[in-house]
Structures are given as structure tokens and as C-alpha cells.
Structure 1
Amino acid sequence: MGDGGPPCKRCSERNLSCVLNKSLQTLIEERSKWKDTVIGDLGHVHSALQQVLGRLSLPALPPLRTTNAENYIPSPNDEVVHCEDQGPSCDNSPQLSPKDDALPHVPIESLYQITRLRSLRSDDPTDGPQATPPRALNHPVEDFISRGLVSVDDAGRLVNLYLSRIDHFIYMIGGTRYRDLDALRRGSPILTACICTVAALHDPMSNHLYGVCNREFRRLMAASMFDRRIDQDHMRAMCIGSYWLHDISWTLSGYAIRRATEINLGRNFKHVITENSEDAMDCMRIWYLLYICDHHLSILYGRPSLVREDASISRWEEMMTSSVFTESDKRLVSQMALLIIMNNVRELLGRDTGEPIPKDFGPHLTNFSRQIDQWMGYWSTELLRLHQFIGEFPTRGVVLHHHLAKLHLHSHVFRGLKGSPVPVYFHDSAIAAVTAATSIIDMLLTDHNIREALVGIPHYIHSMIAFACVFLLKVTTQHSGQFIEDATVLDMCTKVVQQFRSTAVGKWHLVHLMADGLEKMVAKKIKAPVAHSNLPLPNVIGQARLHYVDNNSTTLSPMANGTNPYDGGNSMENGFDDEFGLSTTPFLHFDSGNYDFSFSEFGL
């Protein structure tokens, strides 16, 4: 009798071994093994093809419909479909808090007491974002690096670039807990992906890695959208992304602020003041950075800010007396102090409604301008101690931010004019705006520290540099020859394009996109019909050379114009092209890799 089952009738009658049954059983076993092998090989091919599609930024394949659970290796791009939908979970045995016995003062607490829906339960406001302990050294790390999307060597190079070259631009907040790739991977996968993305954006040798890292960061962000709790490193990653990733900064900033508000991150202020708590100080650094990102974006987009100035914001000076307050924290709060002034400017002027600002705002502009000067005078001296750590950028950065703030403030006098002359009572502000814009470009072209900082500074500064260039081009269009020579503007913008092109960053960095767009705008202005203006040129900006106010607010430094290839009297007819007219296009808009320089929210 065969081993595979009962013999056939003939073999049974003759008490013979059934060869036919044994052959069938053998065939079935071999077919089963062959099927398992084919399914396993197909799974390997499917997984490898998914990785190739991911590297090429192409849509992923759907999951295999026929798989062997023992042999199939799932791809990270496969979608997991849950067969059973789970309803909202309830707290069956909730622990009553003292608030349960008191009269409810927050409506959602009453709804929670009735329904016990876990999603409605507020976290204890005394609980901040928890620091995630690193994984044990013998615990394998599962991330996009272990999956082979980015090699260990490439990831290590990106992390080292970020920690050594970029992190100090965000006040050393990004890599405070980690000093190498291994520690970072074991501590926070999402922070690892974010740091690698930002580093690849700045590295001209990592263009092939930027898309992979960026997709992984977005995937992890999307996967954590509905997580009930997130840790400090998760908040840190959102801050870093908002600071440098211009295409998703508005979304990241808004979401991070909502999560920080949910846990009342600003309440750590009193723990820093009363307890000198280092952990509370770390939370406040994150909170202050969110404030900075929020108000930067409010300036760029002309939209109201989300973070309100409570005690944790307005009383920042009290933190400077704490023992856990560092020299690097001074740079952080210096930005806070300036943005508080700029917030007051926005509160006064409001959003652009297409109407000129009232004459009565003149004294307010003068007062705000004086506050900005005082801010620069104080912090340019206060930050001198940081030179031994990161060079002269902190103090030179103060001067740059001074000019950026002056440009934002005084450019509002051009709002709603639609090419009409600037009212006489706003001439001083108009001259101040043009002076600030030229000073920004002058620093970019002549100051070594600012040129070097193009690799690392947040996208807010790049955007404001772009605004300074377009502002001057629009001034020469709508007020030709009145505040600055057209040829001087063309010369400066041409040199800015050259400076951008010589900056070694990744091809997706704003600097490269800005160079292409600005070059096209200058070329259009050069080819445009010309007209001569009889309006006198103010003495503050001479016809032969350009001046800007230095950090002492008294010394004027000339900018060497070099050889000027343009005719000094040439100008452009008003509104010859939409790029130089009024527009309702958002401030940051990308289309097929081109940077849009139509900044309607700044009032031109």
C-alpha cells in the first residue's frame, strides 16, 4: 500500500502497492512546492519593483492578490486594508478626576462625562510632550534606512551635515539629544527622516536622496496625524520642517501649533522661572520656535498669526535670568522680541484691502521704525559673545533682520497706489523702504557671513530677499527714477542671480528656483520699452553708488556697482507685464519649478 492514501480498487483486490496513488500524491506535493516557490519569487520581485518605483517617484503597485504568508516579504509601500471598521472607543472604567465633581467649565468635559468617548478626553494639562527613550543597542531599528531606501553611509553623511552645518540656524534645537546617526535612529524615526530631508535639500550631492527622504517624512507625518500623544522629538521634527521646507511649512506650522496648544506647551514658562527645569526649558524652546515660524509665515502670506501673545511670550525677558537659559537661547528670544514688534505692525495695518493706508498712520510708522532701530542696537551688542561658537553671523544676522523688518514696515506706504505717486507725507517711509531693500541686497553681495549663510538660513529669509528684489523692480516700474535709478536696480538684481547660481545647494532649494525666476524678470525689464522720468532722485540713494545703514545706524557704507552694462536713464513703462503689476497670486506658489514673484500681500 502506498503512503499517500488508500490504493485503487485493482491494487486493493490483489493486495498490491498502488503506484498510481503514490504518483498522484508526489505530483500534488511537487506542485505545492512549485506554487510556494513561484509566489515567493513573485513577492520578491514585487517588493523590489516597489522600491524602484519609489526611487523614481512613480506611483506604487497595488498589493499582491495571491500571496503566501510564509514567503511573501511585504513592501513598505503596500497599503494595509482593514476588513473591519472599528467605532469610536470608550473609557469603560475611567478614573475620575477632581473636575468630575466640580461644575464643568469646558463644554467638552460635559460631553465626555455623558458619552465617555476616549477621543473627547482632554489630556492632563500638566503633561507635556514626553521624551521618547532611545531603543536598546541590541534592538533592531526598522526604518527607511534599514529597508534600503537610503544607505547607512548616505544617511550618516546627511545627519552629520545637518548637525555640523545647519542646526545652529535653528538655535541648536534640532539635534540637542543626538550626536550621530545611530542615536538619532534609535530615538526618533520621524526626526531622522526630517533631518535627512532638510540636509538633502541643502546638499548639491544629494539630489537623488531628497525625494526619498521627503516622501518618508511625509508618510510618517501622515501616519501620526491621528495619534493621541506625540513626543518632543515629533514636535521638533515639525518645527524643523516648518523652518526649512517651504512647500509644506504652512501646513506643518498650523498642525504643530494646534498640538502644542492642546497640551498647553507654554505653561512650561513658570517651571523655567521657578524651578530652573531643563526639560521645561526644552519645551519652551520648541514653543518659541513655533511662535517664530508662525509669525514668519504671517509676514510672508499676509495672514493672521495663530499664536497669541500670552505671558509665556510677552515675559520672555524673565527667562534670561534662569540658570538653564543659554547663550544660544539669546538668539532665539532676540527673534521673539523683533516679531512682537512686527506683530504690532500687522495689528495696526491689517490685511491688504487694496486701499492706501491712512495719513494718520504716519506717526505710528515712525514709532515702529524707532523700535526696530532700538532692537538692533541692543541685540547687535548682546550677541557678540556668540562669535567664538558660530562666527559673526549672529550679529550680522541682526543687521539683516533689521533691514528686513524696515522693508516690511515701510513698504506698506505703496499699498493701494496702483502706480499713483506716493503721497508727500509718506515720502520718508518710501525712501526708507527702498533703502532697506537695497541694504538687504548689498549685504547679500558684499558680506561674507550672509553669503555663506545662504546655505542654512530658513526659507523666510530667502523669501524676504526675493521680495526685496521684486520690490525694487516694481518701484522702478511704477515710480521710475523717483527713489532709485533703474540701472542700479538691474545691476544689483543681475548680481543677485549670479550669487544664487554660485551657491552650492540642492536643485530643489529656493535659491535655485529664485535665480531662474529673477533672471527672467530682469530680462523682461531690459527688453521692455523705455521712458525717461523728470522726477528728482532723493539724495539718500546717490546716482553713482548705493548706500545702506550699518549696525551703528550712523555709518553709511557704499556698494561698489562695478561695470554697469545698462543705460543709466532707462526705465520701464508701467504695467508692461503682469509680473510687474498688481497680482492676487499667493506669496509662495510653485508651478513647474518656477518661483512666482508676484507678492500682492506687500502692498505694491
Structure 2
Amino acid sequence: MNLPSLGPLQSTKQTLQAQPSEEPHEIGPSCDNSPRLSPADINDLPKVPIHSVYHLTKLSALRSPDDADASHMNQQLVIDDFISKGQLSLEDAKRLFNLYMDHLDHFMYGIGGRHKTLEGLRRSSRILAACIFTVAALHDPQSNLIYGVCSKEFRRLVASSMFQRQIDRDYLRALSIGAYWLSDISWILSGHAIRRASEFNISSLYRRVVSEDDSDALDYIRIWYILYISDQHLSTLFGRSPVIRDDLTVQGWEEFIECPATNEEDNRLASQVSLLNILHSIRELFGPDNGEPISKVYVMQISGFSRQLDQWLARWSAAIIQHHERIGGFPRKGALLHYHYAKLILYSHVFRGLQDSSIPAHFLDAAASAVAAATNTVNVLIYDPEIQPALVGLPSYMHSMTGYACMFLAKLATVHGDQLIEKALVVDLTSRLAALYRSTPVGRFHLMNLMADGLDKVIVALQNSLAANDRPEPSSMDASTHLFPPAAASDDIFSDIDPNFVMDYNVTMGASHLMFLGGGSSVFDTADLSPTFF
């Protein structure tokens, strides 16, 4: 038919790309065209400076959300999450949900378990559901393959919500749960959650709790308290200033537990707030570690804080419920562990700035008390039958402080010989703890599994030191000679370990350079005083 040949096939995408590009469109901040004004907005002085800026610019980002708690707006008619998309099976989701609700949530004072059904949780908050699944998978030995799926989804939702203007309590709940258990991202989650929680004007909500017994306000205060607890824990672990400063809500925990609507979980929650108030005062007194020894005048202050901690334990041992229906006798034994942690933090300040193995005579009692606190910490875990079932559920802070206690004892035994504690006892305690961690059924990426590998390295280094002490002294030692001899040839799995790594660990709590005893590098560089993560 003498028709011309067909031209090349062009897709829609190619057609769009072939079109001439338009002039770039400048995108600026959105403004309110017809902002709602009340008589107070016009007649009264602005309450805060940002209100003035809003009225001048009408920038919508500066306007307070109409309803800060938008939980009623977030109910999904059709559930659209990573379960419905097939990334996580419904069967796995049910198992993880039940593990969290029946066991884990009670270690966080019941704050995270507001939704009693899986469907209710999924309809209410995708980010809370993803966080609960992630934390449960971390503790579940059957969920090693799905932990990464849950963690990736949770991180994605956190990242995508960073600039979201409206948040609700479930959003804060999710960040709180993550900060409590997910040690690798806890600092980021805690700081972000505290900033977003401040939008709810917590002080006014606290007044509603103590004066009106408002149940909604009570829920906010519980979340604020758990954020305060996580903030103080992280301040200890990282040696950084806390984000939350003393305020009416934190100092008013006694009025909080006197409210008729509070329960036994709130009692436990208040006990932690009161303890962390003491620890905050200790940190404020000693300040950051500047490498200088502390003065003799601190003997009296240390004694005074020790009495406060003794009084705290006496009060709350009697006040906390003796047997919890879900986690047994842990509440009281957990208080005992926190007491030992606090004593270790307090007394370990006397090791600041010591340039040799000599401890000033006026600090010998405090040094011995620090050793006792660290030893008691490990003893409670390995010998108390009520604590061992609770290992699956302890927050990352408690595992981290236990790891610090082990490293503290190992360093003292290395530097001071048997003056403060025998090396053989440290080896025995550390070996038993490592065995306990390995026998505890948790996920592969749980802190206990990762710490067990690091504890093995501590054991090998100390055993080599003991063996070296049994050998005759060499006539001379080169400056580069290791403090400990290399591991025996039969110890193949430890053949790459530098046995001096215990010596490189800074045990002073002044800047709290804690490490998580991960199974990575075996050498801890003293030039890098930031915490070493797994």
C-alpha cells in the first residue's frame, strides 16, 4: 500500500523524558490562607514568641497541631502494613505479639501494651506494631530470620515520620519501647521521643493527674516517666548529659503514686524515678571525668549518697509487690540489681585519675565497696533463681551495667593483683555469667549472645595472666612485650586475641565509657573513649 515504515516504539516514560524540561518550580514553606483566629488571638498578648511569628508569617509549620494526640484519626479502615504486604506472616506476628504482651511489656511497667488484640494494634499504629514485633523478635530464638525484616520496617517508619507534624501517644509509645530495648538505636530514639513528647505540655498534664485524676493525662505521665528513665540510663551508659532536666513531673513522683488511679506498675515506675533522681545528683556532683583524681573532701558526700541508696532499697523492698502474676519475683530482685548498679556507679568514682596501682588510704573503703557492688551484681544473676527467668526481658541498660561490672572486676584484678579481688574469683564469676547467657533462649542478635563472646575474651586474658604468675620471672622484658603470654595453641578460637585488651579498657565511671562486649574487635583503643558497640 506504499505506506511509510513504522517509527521506533516509544514508551510513556520515554515520551515524558523527551519533552522539554519546564522551568524549575520553587517550593517554599506552606502557609495558611485563612487561619482560624479566636478573640484571644487578636486581643491578648501572645503567650510565647513563636505565636507572634505565626501571626506575621502564617507559616503552617509554626502553628500548633489542632489535635496533638491524633490517635482517633489514625484508625485504618483497611489494614495496610508489612503483614498485609506479605513481608511478615500473620502467624509470626501473632507469636511475637503474644510474647510481648504476655511477658516483655511487664518489664516496662505495662506502658506499651495498650492494645489487647493484634488487629487493634495494627489498625491503630503501624509504627507501634513494627516496634513491638522488632523487640519481641530480638528476644525470640525462633525469630532470627524475621528480626531483620521487623527492624528494617520499624526504622523505615521512624525515618519517614521525622517531619510528621501530628503524632499520638502510640507514636511516643513505639519510640519509648525501642529506646528501652534496642541498644543500637536507643540514644537516637530516646532523644527524638523526648523532643516530640514535649509538644504535649507534660507539666499541665501532670497537674491534671494529681488534681483531677484524669486517666488520659495519667497515660501521658507514664510515658514521660519511662522516657526519663531511658534518658537517665543512657546518660550513665554514654557519659553524656541527660536531655530531661528536673521538672515538676519528675520531682513529683510521690504525689503521682498517691493518685487513686495508679496501680502496682506505677509504684514500680515511681521507684525507678526516685532512684534515678539520686543518680542524677551523683553525676551533677562529680561532673565529667577530666582525668584528675577526686579530692578527699568527697568522702563525706560519697557516704551521704550511700545512705540515700540504702534508704531507697529499704523503702521500695517493702513497697514493691512481692510476686508479679507475669514476671514472678523479679520486681523486688530487679530493685536489688538496680541498687547494686547504683552503688557501683557511686563508688567507682574513687578510681578516677589514678596513675598507678595505689589507691589513696581515705578511699580504700569506697574501693572495696565498689568491688562488692560489682561482685554482688554478678552473683545475683548467676545464683538467684528468681532473676534467671527474667533475663529474657531485662532492658539493655541492665545487661550493659552487668557487662560493665565484669570488666570493672577484670581490670581491677589485672591492675591491683589480688589486693582488691582475686583473679581466680573473677574468672569463676565471668565464666558462670557467660555460660548463663549462652543457655538463655533469646534471639541471635540479643545483647546477651553478643556479650558472651566478649566475656570469653576476658576469661582467656585472665587465665593467661594466672598462668604467667606461675612461671618464673624472665630476666628482662622488652618494652613491647605483652603483659600476658599468648594463648595456648589448643585455644584455636581465641588465637586472634590480643591478651592486653583488658588493660586498654577504662574502668572509671567518670565519663562512663561503657562497652557492650561485642564479638568484633578484640582490642579496645583507649584513644577512642566513645562506647564500643556490637
Q: TM-score range by the shorter chain?
A: 0.7 to 0.9
Distance apart, 1:306 and its partner CA: 0.8
Are positions 1:168 and 2:106 aligned together?
yes
Distance 1:244 1:389, change over 3 A: closer
Partner of 1:432: helix, strand, or coil? Answer: helix
1:144 maps to 82
The question of whether the paired residues in 2 share the 8 Å contact of 1:517 and 1:596 is answered with: no
1:129 maps to 69
Matched to 1:332, the amino acid is L
Are positions 1:109 and 2:51 aligned together?
yes
Question: Where does 1:137-536 land on structure 2 (aligned, <5 Å)?
Answer: 139-176=77-114, 178-388=115-325, 390-528=327-465, 530-531=468-469
User: Who wins on radius of gyration, i.e. which is larger?
Assistant: 1
Matched to 1:90, the amino acid is C
- The whole-number CA distance in structure 2 between the counterparts of 1:84 and 1:150 is 40
Matched to 1:580, the amino acid is M
After TM superposition, the structure 1 stretch with the greater mean CA deviation from structure 2, 415-424 or 106-115, is 106-115
Matched to 1:279, the amino acid is D
Distance apart, 1:257 and its partner CA: 0.5
The question of whether the paired residues in 2 share the 8 Å contact of 1:516 and 1:594 is answered with: no
Deviations 1:393-420 (A, max 9, x none): 1111111111111011111111111333
Instruction: Identify the structure with bigger relative contact order (alpha carbons < 8 Å, sequence gap 6+).
Output: 2
Distance 1:509 1:419, change over 3 A: farther
Partner of 1:201: helix, strand, or coil? Answer: helix
Are positions 1:118 and 2:60 aligned together?
yes
Equivalent of residue 95 in structure 1, options 10, 33, 36: 36
Distance apart, 1:591 and its partner CA: 7.2
1:579 maps to 502
Deviations 1:225-245 (A, max 9, x none): 000110100000000000000
Deviations 1:197-256 (A, max 9, x none): 000000011000000000000000011000011010000000000000000000000000
TM-score normalised to structure 2 length: 0.85
Distance apart, 1:423 and its partner CA: 0.8
- The whole-number CA distance in structure 2 between the counterparts of 1:202 and 1:597 is 28
Distance apart, 1:104 and its partner CA: 4.3
Deviations 1:345-383 (A, max 9, x none): 000011111111111111111111111111111111111
Matched to 1:93, the amino acid is S
The question of whether the paired residues in 2 share the 8 Å contact of 1:517 and 1:597 is answered with: no
Partner of 1:491: helix, strand, or coil? Answer: helix
Distance apart, 1:596 and its partner CA: 8.3
Distance 1:293 1:187, change over 3 A: same
Partner of 2:103: helix, strand, or coil? Answer: helix
2:473 maps to none
- The whole-number CA distance in structure 2 between the counterparts of 1:361 and 1:586 is 22
TM-score normalised to structure 1 length: 0.75
Deviations 1:176-214 (A, max 9, x none): 2x1222111111110110000000000011000000000
- The whole-number CA distance in structure 2 between the counterparts of 1:93 and 1:134 is 25
Are positions 1:86 and 2:27 aligned together?
yes
The question of whether the paired residues in 2 share the 8 Å contact of 1:242 and 1:293 is answered with: yes
The question of whether the paired residues in 1 share the 8 Å contact of 2:102 and 2:326 is answered with: no
2:483 maps to none
Partner of 2:321: helix, strand, or coil? Answer: helix
Unaligned ranges ≥5, structure 1: 1-7, 10-19, 40-64, 69-82, 533-574
Distance apart, 1:442 and its partner CA: 0.4
Number of equivalenced pairs: 489
Distance apart, 1:108 and its partner CA: 2.7
After TM superposition, the structure 1 stretch with the greater mean CA deviation from structure 2, 331-340 or 85-94, is 85-94
- The whole-number CA distance in structure 1 between the counterparts of 2:139 and 2:243 is 29
C-alpha RMSD of matched pairs (Å)? 2.9
- The whole-number CA distance in structure 1 between the counterparts of 2:208 and 2:512 is 44
Partner of 1:132: helix, strand, or coil? Answer: helix
Distance 1:580 1:99, change over 3 A: farther
- The whole-number CA distance in structure 2 between the counterparts of 1:331 and 1:598 is 39
- The whole-number CA distance in structure 1 between the counterparts of 2:236 and 2:296 is 23
The question of whether the paired residues in 2 share the 8 Å contact of 1:207 and 1:507 is answered with: yes
The question of whether the paired residues in 1 share the 8 Å contact of 2:237 and 2:514 is answered with: yes
The question of whether the paired residues in 2 share the 8 Å contact of 1:476 and 1:485 is answered with: yes
Identity, % of aligned positions: 47
Matched to 1:153, the amino acid is E
Distance apart, 1:446 and its partner CA: 0.5
The question of whether the paired residues in 1 share the 8 Å contact of 2:99 and 2:136 is answered with: yes
Distance apart, 1:592 and its partner CA: 7.0
Distance 1:107 1:589, change over 3 A: farther
The question of whether the paired residues in 2 share the 8 Å contact of 1:586 and 1:598 is answered with: no
- The whole-number CA distance in structure 1 between the counterparts of 2:163 and 2:447 is 31
- The whole-number CA distance in structure 2 between the counterparts of 1:170 and 1:497 is 25
